[in-house]
Chain A
Amino acid sequence: MKQTLLSLSNLSKQFDGKTVLDSLDLEILDGEFITLLGPSGCGKTTLLRLMAGFEHPDDGTILLGGQDLTHTPPEKRPLNTVFQNYALFPHMSVFDNVAYGLKMEKRPKEEIRQRVDEALAMVQLEEFARRKPHQLSGGQQQRVAIARAVVKRPKMLLLDEPLSALDYKLRRTMQVELKRLQRELGITFVFVTHDQEEALSMSDRVVVLKDGLIQQLGTPREVYERPANLFTARFVGETNFFPGRIDKANGDDTITVDVFGLKRTFRKPDFPVAAGQPLHVLLRPEDIRVLAPDDDDGVAGKVVERNYKGSTLDSVIHLEDSTEVLASEFFDEDDPTFDYRLGEPVKVSWVDGWEWLLPMESPEAEAEANLDE
């Protein structure tokens, strides 16, 4: 069992009367890769800044291994930050940038040289030590920023959207490299991003934030497969929301739900259910099965969009009541001609047990979720 490294309790922060964080509690475990995920303005960057000490909370405490850090200035915290735009000192060479933190600790010259060399070797930039930051590419600057932060051997590394300025391919490479570094160094990483794909592929745990409140905290798999609410479901990945109505609750921990007139049997969800109650049936595009129009199962519709994605064929299907359904199907080796014509009539179904049920939420939350579709 991993131990708690950083413990945030009851953290609140307001800017100009606007609440950015609202009594937030979070325990970060030693050695984990945890991601703060949310849209802009959700409070993720503020939360990171509170941890780094650039901002101070209006209320609440920050404990690091039992030691109160709430009002400690950033220079006295054993944490380091990798900034969004790298924040390399433009007037210093790569070597001096990385050495800066150790010079501030007044380490002996020989030790500084050795540790900086090690850090630069770790990010494969030994040959660039004499260069100035503006002589490096974006990806190289990013790696210098990481070396500069880890050379101090912090208890925790805070990364503020560090990959957002890189192009897609480089971003993928850096994702892998960051994971490798985190494994090798064994340092706790707190990673801020608005990119849900990045969050899912890199993290041990994901914190989904919205309006300064934690929406869900869980492993990437939990967050993707069992979203806690409409917001998480909508924000993390693509989702089909089907309107359902509970027909009856069965004795054997299952319920029968009416979806588009189909009577399907689902596992009983965690929330209380009663006959006649409306709920959301969530299905990811890859859970959808597209069937022939004469199939016994499914709801009738027609294909209105097809998108060739290489490994998958993504399509949009309009049901008769004009609900849009996203489907993502893998190509079948046995059927090389597998494709759709626009306007082709089909039927839409799914594998029972792959659905996820959520209760209806407040009218505002419902309206927000509908906007997205």
Chain B
Amino acid sequence: MSSVTQQPFRTAVLVLVWGWLLFLVLTPNLLVVGASVMTRDPGSFLSLPLNLDAYRQLMNPLYLDVFLHSLYMAAMTTLICLLIGYPFAWALTKVGKQRQMLLIFLLIVPFWTNSLVRTYALKLLLATNGLLNNALMSLGIIEEPLRMLYTEGAVIVGLVYLLLPFMILPLYAVFDDLREDLLRASHDLGAGRLATFVHVIVPLTLPGVLAGVMLVLLPAMGLFFVPDILGGSRNLLVGNVIKNQFLDARNWPFGAAASIVLTLAMAFLMFAHRLSKRRIGEDGV
């Protein structure tokens, strides 16, 4: 009865959703795929014939180096986020419910400030005569200012700073779901703390780890403004390469091909995440 009266509304919603996905997700992605197999043209950006030159160019040792270095920095960022985020999220579920909400709120507060602005703020901290160096020198810990800005470390610090909440939030969700009685059962059956951690806690929080990795690793490869501000010319991310190809080198096919590789990597991680969730029976059969 109500389904008949709601039919037009239902149709409208479906059209809206599918239209949105079609025009704003599928079409742009198809355009990128299309661009990646076309030929570079100085005048109109793209031209025929179709070819795989852009992908071949990706195999160029120069770009492969950039890609690998970028992957290395992103991986370091992810690892550091995980090492900080895992115990942080665990501890978060141990404090009282009210305190928990406050801490999560504090975690989210920085999002209210534009990340570009926050990255510039970090530059002020790390600069040669910045806050950190001045503080260390006035405390007599160092004689000369340390060179912190425009290093690989600075880029990683910037990425960790921006991306840490994305690691903590999914981890918090899995730790919050971790049932106390499963840990009790493990102890009851003769497992000590370490064995319980390895055999119960790690497997059950793995979906959160993978979700966190997904939310940190790939964005970390794409956040081009962080190396722009903090990293100098040698510490490039794939994001910088893509940006440069589109805006500076005007090599659209190559930029498109690079971003497709990034997307495929993301898809692979999502697939792994799904598998891990299915393993513990969260997605049903």
Chain A interface residues (CB < 8 Å from chain B): 52-54, 73-76, 79-81, 83-85, 87-91, 100-101, 104-105, 132-135, 148-149, 152
Q: How far is the CB of A186 from chain B (nearest CB, A)?
A: 21
A105 lies within 8 A of B182 (CB) = no
Q: Which residues of B contact A75 (CB under 8 A)?
A: 187-192
Q: How far is the CB of A29 from chain B (nearest CB, A)?
A: 22
A134 to B204, CA, bound (A): 14
Q: Which residues of A contact B187 (CB under 8 A)?
A: 53-54, 73-75
A89 lies within 8 A of B285 (CB) = no
B282 nearest CB neighbor, chain A only = A90
Q: Decide: A135 near B285, CB < 8 A? Known: A75-B190, A91-B203, A152-B190.
A: yes
Q: Which residues of B contact A104 (CB under 8 A)?
A: 189-191, 195
B182 lies within 8 A of A100 (CB) = no
A52 lies within 8 A of B189 (CB) = no
A89 to B203, CA, bound (A): 10
B157 within 8 A of A: no
Contact string against A for B residues 175-189, beta-carbon threshold 8 Å, 1 for contact and 0 otherwise: 000010110111111
Interface residues of B in 141-195 (CB under 8 A from A): 179, 181-182, 184-192, 195
A74 lies within 8 A of B188 (CB) = yes
Q: How many A-B pairs fall under 8 Å by CB?
A: 73
Chain B interface residues (CB < 8 Å from chain A): 179, 181-182, 184-192, 195, 199-200, 203-204, 279-282, 284-285
A104 nearest CB neighbor, chain B only = B190
B204 lies within 8 A of A87 (CB) = no
Q: Which residue of the partner chain, among A80, A83, A91, A105, contacts B181 with CB atoms under 8 Å?
A: A83
A83 to B284, CA, bound (A): 23
A149 to B190, CA, bound (A): 11
A135 to B285, CA, bound (A): 8
A89 to B196, CA, bound (A): 11
Q: Which residues of A contact B282 (CB under 8 A)?
A: 90
A88 to B280, CA, bound (A): 11
Q: Which residues of A contact B182 (CB under 8 A)?
A: 87, 89
B281 lies within 8 A of A52 (CB) = no
A135 to B280, CA, bound (A): 11
Q: How far is the CB of B186 from chain A (nearest CB, A)?
A: 7
A134 to B280, CA, bound (A): 9
Q: How far is the CB of A119 from chain B (nearest CB, A)?
A: 13
Q: Which residues of B contact A91 (CB under 8 A)?
A: 203-204, 279-281
Q: Which residue of the partner chain, among B181, B199, B280, contacts A100 with CB atoms under 8 Å?
A: B199
A101 lies within 8 A of B190 (CB) = yes
Q: Which residues of A contact B185 (CB under 8 A)?
A: 81, 83, 87-89
B200 nearest CB neighbor, chain A only = A89
Q: How far is the CB of A336 from chain B (nearest CB, A)?
A: 49
A91 to B200, CA, bound (A): 8
Q: Which residues of B contact A85 (CB under 8 A)?
A: 179, 181
A125 to B73, CA, bound (A): 50
A74 to B186, CA, bound (A): 9
A80 to B191, CA, bound (A): 12
A81 to B183, CA, bound (A): 12
Among all A-B residue pairs, the 8 with the closest Cβ atoms: A101-B189, A134-B281, A104-B190, A87-B181, A87-B185, A91-B280, A74-B187, A91-B203
Q: How far is the CB of B271 from chain A (nearest CB, A)?
A: 18
A97 to B242, CA, bound (A): 49
Q: How far is the CB of B244 from chain A (nearest CB, A)?
A: 44
B184 lies within 8 A of A100 (CB) = no
A207 to B280, CA, bound (A): 39
B186 lies within 8 A of A54 (CB) = no
Q: Which residues of A contact B199 (CB under 8 A)?
A: 89, 100
A69 to B266, CA, bound (A): 52
Q: Which residues of A contact B191 (CB under 8 A)?
A: 75, 100, 104
Q: How far is the CB of A123 from chain B (nearest CB, A)?
A: 17
A278 to B71, CA, bound (A): 87
A54-B184, A89-B200, A90-B280 known, 12 other contacts, Cβ within 8 Å: A52-B188, A73-B192, A80-B189, A81-B184, A83-B184, A87-B182, A89-B185, A90-B204, A90-B282, A91-B203, A91-B280, A104-B189
A100 lies within 8 A of B186 (CB) = yes
A105 to B189, CA, bound (A): 9
Q: Which residues of A contact B203 (CB under 8 A)?
A: 91
A101 to B179, CA, bound (A): 19
A81 nearest CB neighbor, chain B only = B188
Q: How far is the CB of B272 from chain A (nearest CB, A)?
A: 15
Q: Which residues of B contact A148 (CB under 8 A)?
A: 189
Q: Which residues of A contact B195 (CB under 8 A)?
A: 104
Q: How far is the CB of A138 from chain B (nearest CB, A)?
A: 15
A205 to B25, CA, bound (A): 68
B202 nearest CB neighbor, chain A only = A91
Q: Which residues of A contact B204 (CB under 8 A)?
A: 89-91
Can you report 20 A-B residue pairs in the complex whose CB atoms are below 8 A from each other? Answer: A52-B188, A75-B188, A75-B192, A79-B188, A80-B188, A81-B184, A81-B188, A85-B181, A87-B184, A90-B280, A91-B204, A100-B186, A100-B199, A101-B189, A104-B195, A105-B190, A132-B281, A134-B284, A149-B188, A152-B189
B182 nearest CB neighbor, chain A only = A87
Q: How far is the CB of B189 from chain A (nearest CB, A)?
A: 4
A99 nearest CB neighbor, chain B only = B189
